[in-house]
Amino acid sequence: MAGADVVIKKDMGITHAEFLRLLPRVLNGADFQVTGTTIIFKDQDERTLIIELGPEGERRIALMRIPRTMVSLTFQGYDAPALEAFLTHFDHSYQRGGG
């Protein structure tokens, strides 16, 4: 049985627009609701994920400017294996290549 809500905060190098563009891939094409900077997703197992996007900013490294958004993920009804699986998929979906 799932326990209490779990909140995970991430400092991401992304804009709101790009986050929302990639979100359907993260949620495997499932429906979600967007109200302002809050996103709510309910899956078929009656679990709820609430995503809150903080203000857009930027990180500067020398002359480079990288977008920056603090993202809060609140998981309701997720057990530990489901939470871990979702976070792994989330991180891989938003991972950027480099080289």
Q: The pTM is what?
A: 0.89
Q: Cα–Cα distance between 20 and 22 in angstroms, integer? A: 5
pLDDT band at 39 (very low <50, low <70, confident <90, very high): very high
- Tell me the backbone φ, ψ of residue 71, rounded to 5 degrees: -120, 130
Residue 52 near residue 38 (C-beta atoms within 8 A):
yes
Residue where the block lists tokens 């290549």: 97
Helix (H, G, I), strand (E, B) or coil at 26: helix
Q: What integer best gives the mean pLDDT of the chain?
A: 92
Q: Cα–Cα distance between 52 and 64 in angstroms, integer? A: 26
Domains of the chain by residue range: 10-45+54-75+83-93
